[in-house]
Structure 1
Amino acid sequence: MSNSLAIATVTGTLITRIKGLLNGANLTEMGIRAGHPTATNNDSGVYVTLYHLSPNAALRNADLPTRRSSGETARRPVLALNLRYLLSFIGDPEKFEAERLAGLVLADLHARPLLGSDEISTYLGSLDPSHYLRQSDLARQSEPIKLSPINADAEELSRVWGMANQSFFALSMAWEATVVLLDGTVEPTESLPVASTGLAVVQATAPRLSRLYERSSRQAVVADSDTLVVEGEQLLGQHSRLFIGGGSVTLTPSHVKGRALEIDLSSVTGLVPGVLPVVVEHRVAVPGAAGDGMRPAALSNALAVMLRPTLGALSSEGTLPSRKVRIPMTPLPKVDQSVQLSLESTTTNARHTSRTFTLQGGQVLFDVPGLATGTYLVRVSVDGATSALTMTGGEYTGPTVTVP
């Protein structure tokens, strides 16, 4: 892998080789230039133009994952590039100078199609110590730079010359240099060494979930005091856990009811309201493994359940214009969740909403500026899961909060 000076180093090494060819053939009057010839800059010689960069098709997907799940850099990302050059030859047509230059240069590139580390090191060593390319480390790249001709027809060459907005044209041929591996500038975080190793061989059958619902309503909407029924196959292994979002419970034979699991959600730790994935994980004991010695063996497909927040006794605080509504809630939301309080007057058409809240113990305190005196129906939505309303005589009657 190489630093950001690699592309310029390839161009410089290629120009230096061609310059050596001209000197060896006693064509010292011919120039070698980096750049595109123009109608006003067309002295006799060879012109080397880097006109296109493209990702290397063979190596663009060979890079290992560069980041861990936490976002930390695990290894430096590597960009694999192909460089396309246009070699243009200009000279006195009466002396066939362009043709002679083309034959000399193209024959050498075909016979020596690699820019190896020795040639690159020699070029860099010939530069002044203060030259910016002396910091290039292309010579340490494990892959050599291979030069190969490109079958570019007259139409493609005309497009390349057209990009330079030139009506002037010279004898030209396109070549490709591959591959240049550019290192990212980020510094990876070194992982801790493996503390211990172990091996366990078991017959692991993956669990499969087919349906889930609350035991009474048979809907996939639950509160944290309900019983969740999970139907499926291979639900209980030697060591199994059920995950509901970030919450989990260790499964035992007492949870199995026929071909289903019945989970008392009050026994599940780490729950938060919202739409949550439900999965079953079978685990296996690995000798010598750190921690509890358990490692995942098989994971089920995921099904979704909506865990709605349950509201306690509501109260209001403060006076106009700075009112607050205090709501005991289980389970409590996290501060990074989308939480909205909706208030609807039971006597007027007044409605208020608030997304500004703080967590205080087991309660959520909402700021509701401009909240007038009255009684309001209360709903709280957390990531799309809305608290339940009570109904009496066909009308919603609670929960309510009274603002004095």
Structure 2
Amino acid sequence: MSNPLAISTVSAAFLRRILSAANAAVPNAKVRLGAPTAKLAEDAAPLVNLHLYRVEPNAAHANDHLPTRGATGQMRGPSKLALNLHYVMSFYGNHDAFEPDLMLGEVMLALEHEPLLSKTTIHNAIEDNDELEDSDLEAALARLRVTRQLMTIDDFSKIWSIFYQVPYVLSLSYEVSHVVIETSATPPVPTPVAHPGLWVSPVSTLRLDAAGRAPGSIIPPVWGGILHVAGRGLAKPGLELEVDGGGLAMSGVRQSEAALAVTLDAPTFGGVELAVGVHRLQAIAPRTSADQPDHVRARSNALAFALSPAIVVGTITAPAGGTTATGTVDIGFTPSIRSDQAVRLLLDVRNPAAPAQVILAGRIPVEGGANAASLTFSFVSLPRGDYLVRADVDGLLSPVTLDSTAGSSTYGQIIGPELSL
């Protein structure tokens, strides 16, 4: 494993190998790094141009290392990349003296005879370039192999098409594999295991598929209501649930094989009121023995569910008379609204012939303020009539009330909450 300077070091070491072979064929020949240019062909000086044109993952070693982070996100080890470097090699010189051909033959033979970048070559490349003095490629365990790529004329045509207005010259393509680079971050040293143990768990399905409203209902879960959970393997005795990392009292949960009904109240949540917003739900498999630690118990996938606000229309303060009203309305919220939550009140006109909506702004979110079980909203010159009332808390809307009285003329229709002026 090496630091990111390994890629540059490979190019420098490859250059040295080519330089010695090219000089054996044509004295004073040079090697250049970089994309080929039109001027190189015009100069016709003996030269081999080496260009790194593609980098791709090494398929054989891409997954050699273990996961670099644990389930909690803590780093377990450095991140590593196994790469293959693809080079295009082009030959320039006096064609009358066969210089490009001579250099090509000598370079191909040298790389065929010794298809490796030796540690000596890498060491000398680092010594020759001050920019590479911090490279540790020389100490890498992996041997760097140089392999000629079989390229058709169509392949070379595609490669040279990326060099704008550069004429094609005699070329070869080589791959250097495999170059492994890694981050320099140092993972924490784990503490020793005080009491080794072995726990065996049965292979069974524990899965959560959905969490939210009741099947077929349009009413979202609210505090004081029921959270409906669908999944598999949920009827096991000893099953536990976590919401946002905290355990629930299973006495408030009705279990069946494919569904759970979680009572959203303080006793179920250990005396804590869950806030309006998005929460994380996860199921934990029963213990296989009384001494089995929590961290080795099987867990389901995690699901997100949204807890919507429930509201009650309170006191309305507005002078009587006139076609419009100016005043305030108190709205009670369950659960309480946190100080950092944005709140709006949506008033929908109940007249189907003239639908309209009025939005009343609540308080501005403030960090570190007090929670509020009730908020007062002001309205100015609001046309008198009946309004459907909904609250918007951080994008989550309070549910409406449906008429559930059988035989009622409005059965199944929205009947509230209402504000009458």
Same fold (TM over 0.5): yes
Aligned ranges 1:89-128 → 2 under 5 Å: 89-127=91-129
In structure 2, the residue matched to 1:2 is 2
Q: Which amino acid aligns with 2:47?
A: G
Kindly indicate whether residue 90 of structure 2 is the aligned counterpart of residue 88 of structure 1.
yes
TM-score where L is the length of structure 2? 0.71
Q: Deviations over 1:121-166 (max 9, x none)?
A: 1321244xxx212222222333222110011122222333333235
For residue 107 of structure 1, report the CA deviation from its aligned partner: 0.9
How many angstroms apart in 1 are the aligned matches of 2:316 and 2:73?
A: 42
Alpha-carbon distance in 2 for matches of 1:324, 1:193: 61
Cα distance in 1 for partners of 2:73, 2:257 equals: 43
The 5-angstrom pairing of residues 48-87 of structure 1 reads 48-62=50-64, 64-67=66-69, 74-87=76-89
Unpaired segments ≥5 residues, structure 2: 318-326
Q: State the alpha-carbon separation in 2 of the partners of residues 15 and 332 from structure 1.
A: 70
Does residue 284 in structure 1 map to residue 307 in structure 2? no
Contact kept? 1:77, 1:183, Cα under 8 Å: yes
RMSD of equivalent CA atoms: 4.7
Alignment of 1:3-402 (within 5 A): 3-23=3-23, 25=24, 27-35=26-34, 36=36, 38-62=40-64, 64-67=66-69, 74-127=76-129, 131-166=130-165, 168-184=167-183, 187=185, 190=188, 192-193=190-191, 196=194, 197-203=196-202, 205-207=204-206, 221-226=220-225, 235-243=234-242, 248-251=247-250, 255=254, 263-266=262-265, 267-269=267-269, 271-273=274-276, 280-284=283-287, 293-295=293-295, 297-299=297-299, 307-312=307-312, 314=314, 327-332=331-336, 340-344=344-348, 351-354=358-361, 357-358=364-365, 360-363=370-373, 365=375, 377-382=388-393, 384-389=396-401, 394=410, 396=415, 398=417, 400=419
| Deviations 1:84-124 (CA, angstroms, capped at 9, x unpaired) | 22222334444433322222111111121111333211321
Task: Please give the per-residue CA displacement for 1:204-256, whole angstroms capped at 9, x wherever unaligned.
Answer: 644567999989x9887444334567688754445321346766423369956
In terms of fraction of residues, the more strand-rich structure is: 1
Distance in 2 separating the partners of 1:257 and 1:158 = 65
Residue 285 of structure 2 aligns to a residue whose secondary structure is: strand
Alignment size in residue pairs: 391
**1:101 alignment partner, SS class:** helix
How many angstroms apart in 2 are the aligned matches of 1:65 and 1:376? Answer: 56
Distance 1:398 1:86, change over 3 A: closer
**AA of the residue aligned to 2:140:** Q
For 1:373 and 1:399, the matched residues in 2 are separated by: 15
1:231·1:259 contact (CA, 8 Å) conserved in 2?
yes
Q: Check conservation: 1:357, 1:366, Cα contact below 8 A.
A: no
The whole-number CA distance in structure 1 between the counterparts of 2:259 and 2:277 is 23
Percent of residue pairs bearing the same amino acid type: 25
Q: Which amino acid aligns with 1:123?
A: A
Do 1:311 and 1:327's aligned partners in 2 also have CA atoms closer than 8 Å?
yes
Letter in 1 for 2:102: R
Tell me the distance in 2 between the aligned counterparts of 1:68 and 1:258: 31
Distance 1:333 1:59 in 2: 53
Query: If the length of structure 1 is used for normalisation, what is the TM-score?
Result: 0.74
Number of the residue aligned with 1:320: none
SS at match of 2:200: coil
